[in-house]
A and B are shown apart, each in its own frame.
Chain A
Amino acid sequence: MKVRVTEYLDVALPERRWACNRCGQDLGPAERSYKEGCLITHRDPREVHPVLAPGEEFNFSFDPEWVRLVEFYCPGCGTMVENEYLPPGHPLTWDIELDLDAFERTHTQTEGAATMTEPGA
């Protein structure tokens, strides 16, 4: 079974592995961050956020000297699972570290749990 944990992430039980909610791609063991199973890139935020005023800073867009846009993609379908705006080189965020024993207990003992996900394609 798969349990949907976020918009784009499922956890497969009892395997305890992350999976893409959109395509079912395996994203690695749930004991670790799903980000370790993603493809990752960093971008100049100005590629996304239009520059409205002249100058390198204070132009209503992000200054790439201060932050870069880090994007995490599903290697199966290319969906952007998450992103972060980080100063260049700043360590990534392990954002969801589930207590998997409790998680499995909850979701395997709750009959008809509303959070069951449809399997990925």
Chain B
Amino acid sequence: MGSLMDRIKLHEGLVYDKHPYGKAPGRDPSLLTRGIEPPSELEREGMERISGLELEVFQHKMTSIVEEARDVYMALSISEGIITGDMNASIFTAEGDPAVVATGIYFHTLLNYGQVKYVMEYYRDDPTVGLQDGDVYFFNDPTCGGVHTFDMFVTAPIFHRGVLVGWAEVGGHQGECGSISPGGFSPRATTRWEEGLHIHGMRIADGWELRRDILDFMLNSVRNPFVFASDLKARVATCKRIRDRVLRECERRGAAEVAGALRKILEVSSELAKQRISKINDGIYRAVLFNDGVGQESGLVRLPTTVVKQGDEMVVINQGVSPENHKGPQHCTWHLMRASMGVYLFTYFFRGLTPNIGLLEPIKVLVEGPSVANCGAEVAHGEGTTISAMNVQNLHVIGSKMLFDSEHRMSVSAPFSRNLMIYVYSGTNSYGYRTANFTGTQNLAGQGARFDLDGEHASGFYWASVTDAGEVEESDTRLPVVTLARTIDKDFHGFGMYRGGVPSVEISAAPRGGCELTTRGASDRLSHNPGIFGGYAGPPNPRFVIRGADVFRQMQSGAMDLVLTQHNLAHEQPLEGEYHFDYSSKATESFVEGDLFIDSAGGGGGYGDVLERDPESVMDDLRNEIISAQVARDVYRVVYDGELLKVDLDATDEERRAAREERKANGKPFDAFVAEWSQLRPSEDKLTYYGSWPEPNVETYTKPFWGLFE
């Protein structure tokens, strides 16, 4: 890339295009950064043979195979995360690149080339390991290409008459992994060694038969061996289904054509991505987000994103990132930062293009390390997704600004909600076995407002928009928690000309016998759900529990004949009990029967100026109880009859005209604003983990805009 990149100066002494850690047994980070493998002789032969039309047919066939696999895996699994769609299934090329990706968590698949390439590089020709039909590999190590130890995957080679044509891959959020907190997420973990089982890519089956000794080792490493074993078998069975389906295609087309077609999908996708990028205005685009903690401790953390777009190439740069803190699990890896981008890019930016890793080929990724975004191997990684999600949110804001002046304006929107809280319930369930996982309420986040529409309520999971929340009755039996309500709550989204979507808030209680709860989250005093073009952000989402509520007794006495919503519980506090509003990352605590948990994935940001929202839409929001009268009056500046909810249009026009005059009277010209603003600074206790203020890695910085280095 030419002249625009000349304006970017990277800091010396830091790495950007690779990991800050090196090789170790089972791990070779260079395999994670080297991109799509060149075609093999077999693939080249097949690529030349298959026509464009046949490739289209083939790609649809392969997609139907992985979508079927997704359904099979969700149906066979007994883990709440998998059942509700926190998973993926895919087909890789013979050389190990993800070519066909199911809906679900795109980044799962975009990462798992790590284990396949390791097997191909180091085990295939090793006489003590080898590679043959019926082998199944297991993988969950975040430093070797994974997400976090609680996301577990299996992969199997697909051999047709002795020729390797591809790989089947299935996996997802299993949860419990033997870490210091039940259920995987461990807010108090500060090193890798507290995060449970780490398997880099280990053969667990020969001839599709699980090895008993390996299985026993894994089951002996986790708290819920029944669930673990059941789900592992579900993954292996689903992998075999993919393999059998692909082999049918091999019988029709031959090994070379199937292997070549899989490889050609990547080539075509890469070309389509370049074409899409080339139609966008060249320039440099920026966005920044902050977190307010590092795990169990508070402190500002910074994640800026710069995109340089020129011609048919893009460079995504994270520079000026807060350093590693060694205080918690919010550390991300280079490969997770890159793969996570697929969640935005595939769903919005490259909307309409078939998702696979070929779409990422024209995009260079530079992540400053060591930092919280590109960390070393020894730190805890369990909540690295908090960091990569901040980058995805930045990218979403940037992407919308890039796409507005293009033929793809329909993809312009505020980001999906990422003020994600996860309540992991652990204990013994109704079936009598031990379990630890979250409920499907994670899949009910609010969508960001779109350029022409409000965001959808309870729309999906941040990492996988095509998901379902699952059945409450089923999660009540599978997890040690009882769901009392799921509500679309009030004043819990971003306001704007088009408003963000509202999440479903889940209100649940500890069952007879109680339960344990571990919570993970971020953005408790600030937000990761920005609005766009003047739209306001979705609000923060702290932890909210009520101890000593004895809610089942109160229900019997009639005290529960109230509206059971987060807004009502927080604002009115109508139930007896101790109300706790806290930082969301909290280590495991015990709760007794009738204690209450209030949990949601947060509301989406707004689009455009609130003063441009149709007053009738504001009345609809009031009628639907998703905003309060305070918001209608003071934020949207609508004048209306409080009883009839009828707008006074003339008075509203006058009120909004006055509001604009207030803005003009209060606003300062740029230089005057900067002179005043630059004197402010957060208190020192908030900057413990930030790095140097305001630009980490720069001793003194005085420019009015961030990220401008000489």
Interface of A with B (CB < 8 Å)? 3-8, 33, 35-42, 47-50, 52-55, 57-63, 65-73, 75, 77-83, 85-99, 102-103, 106, 114-115
**Which chain A residues border B674 with CB–CB below 8 Å?**
92
Instruction: Tell me whether A40 and B686 are in contact (CB under 8 A).
Output: no
Instruction: Tell me whether B673 and A40 are in contact (CB under 8 A).
Output: yes
Q: How far is the CA of A89 from the CA of B703 in the complex (A)?
A: 11
B282: interface (CB < 8 Å): yes
Q: What 19 additional pairs, Cβ within 8 angstroms, besides A6-B401, A40-B677, A115-B406?
A: A37-B670, A39-B667, A48-B495, A50-B491, A50-B630, A57-B525, A63-B540, A66-B292, A68-B680, A78-B664, A80-B610, A83-B536, A85-B537, A89-B679, A97-B283, A97-B284, A98-B282, A99-B283, A114-B407
How many chain B residues touch the partner (CB < 8 A)? 90
Instruction: Tell me whether B282 and A66 are in contact (CB under 8 A).
Output: no
Instruction: Tell me whether B542 and A79 are in contact (CB under 8 A).
Output: no
State which of B571, B579, B682 has its C-beta within 8 Å of the C-beta of A88.
B682
**Which chain B residues border A68 with CB–CB below 8 Å?**
680
B433: interface (CB < 8 Å): no
The residue in A37, A53, A54 that gathers the most chain B C-beta atoms within 10 A of its C-beta is A53
Cβ contacts A to B, 24 pairs, < 8 Å:
A8-B534, A36-B670, A40-B668, A49-B491, A49-B537, A49-B539, A52-B571, A55-B581, A58-B524, A60-B492, A60-B541, A60-B566, A66-B292, A66-B686, A73-B667, A75-B667, A80-B611, A81-B534, A87-B686, A91-B706, A95-B286, A97-B283, A102-B282, A106-B281
Instruction: Tell me whether B526 and A66 are in contact (CB under 8 A).
Output: yes
Q: Tell me, rounded to whole Å, the shortest Cβ–Cβ distance linking A52 to chain B.
A: 4
**Which chain B residues border A102 with CB–CB below 8 Å?**
281-282, 310
Q: Tell me, rounded to whole Å, the shortest Cβ–Cβ distance linking B114 to chain A.
A: 34
Mostly, the A contact residues are: loop
Instruction: Tell me whether A67 and B526 are in contact (CB under 8 A).
Output: yes
Q: How far is the CA of A60 from the CA of B612 in the complex (A)?
A: 25
The 8 A CB mask of B484-525 against A (1 = contact, 0 = none) is: 000000011001000000000000000000000000000011
Instruction: Tell me whether B536 and A48 are in contact (CB under 8 A).
Output: yes
**Which chain B residues border A72 with CB–CB below 8 Å?**
534
**Which chain B residues border A103 with CB–CB below 8 Å?**
281-283
The residue in A7, A72, A83 that gathers the most chain B C-beta atoms within 10 A of its C-beta is A7
The 8 A CB mask of B620-643 against A (1 = contact, 0 = none) is: 000000001011001100000000
**Which chain B residues border A6 with CB–CB below 8 Å?**
401, 404-405, 533
Q: Tell me, rounded to whole Å, the shortest Cβ–Cβ distance linking B663 to chain A.
A: 5
Q: How far is the CA of A42 from the CA of B675 in the complex (A)?
A: 13
B300: interface (CB < 8 Å): yes
The residue in A42, A50, A98 that gathers the most chain B C-beta atoms within 10 A of its C-beta is A50
